[in-house]
Amino acid sequence: MEKKISEIISELKEKFPQIKTSEETISVSTEDLLGLMQELKNSFGFNYLTNLTAADYPADAKGKGDGNEDEDDGEMEIVYNLTSVYEKLYLTVKARVSRKNPEIPSVFPVWGGANWQEREVYDLFGIVFTDHPNLKRILLTDNFEGYPLRKDYQWVGGRK
């Protein structure tokens, strides 16, 4: 099984020379993302988007941007866990967006399962999935301000 994954990864590297790979993880740019995902689904049988989430990696350790326009503000990483239900193969794809301009193509055209998961990431991180059919808040109310899962989100209460 491990061999199969490594074969897939080396085949992908020929088609998408820019991607970075390690064991079962592929890092891809936002430009290549949609093409890579379509290839993974159509040619390699990754028909199931198990999990889609994100994580915030601000440049400042405390996560507070200093408001300086030119300064690097850090990045956010979107993580896709893919499964091939019939072949029982598992693969992780990661893509990074800048915190200043968090935009990435939606993978809804590839897997319907991205619908609510992308909405959740948009709701909590403020990452915009372009061409998503119904991108609006899902857990929080529509008039909620801010994106709580970003590291610089200030929240009231709780234990110290």
Partner 1 sequence: MLRTETYTMNFGPQHPATHGVFQVVLTLDGEKIVKAEPVCGYLHRGIEKLAESRTYQQVIPYTDRMDYLASMLQNWGYVMAVEKLMGLEVPERAEYLRVISGELSRLASHVLATGVYALDVGGFTGFLLCFRERERMMDLLEELTGSRMTFSYARFGGVADDAPEGWLEKLDKLMDDMPGYIDEYDGLITGNEIFQARTKQVGGLSPETAIDYSLSGPVLRGSGINYDLRKAKPYSIYDRFDFEVPVGKNGDCFDRYFCRVREMRQSVRIIKQAIEQIKEIDGPIKGKVPKALKPPKGDAYAEIESSKGILGFYVVSDGTNKPHRVHVRRPSFINLGYLDEMSRGWLIADLVAILGSIDIVLGEVDC
Give the 3-state secondary structure of residue 54.
strand
Q: Contact region for partner 1 (CB under 8 A) — 12-20, 47-55, 67-75, 99-107?
A: 47-55
The phi-psi region of residue 125 (left if phi > 0; otherwise alpha if psi is between -120 and 50; otherwise beta) is alpha
Q: For the window 1-40, what string marks contact with partner 1 as x by the rule CB under 8 A?
A: ----------------------------------------
Question: Contact with partner 1 (CB under 8 A): which of 60, 120, 128, 152?
Answer: 120
Angle at 131 between CA 38 and CA 11, to 5 degrees: 15
- 55 is a site residue for partner 1 (CB under 8 A): yes
For residue 25, give every residue at least 6 positions away whose Cβ sits within 8 Å of its Cβ, in sequence order, or none.
91, 92, 93, 94
Binding site for partner 1 (CB under 8 A): 47-51, 53, 55-56, 79, 81, 85, 88, 90, 92, 111-117, 120, 124, 138-141, 148-149, 153, 155, 158-159
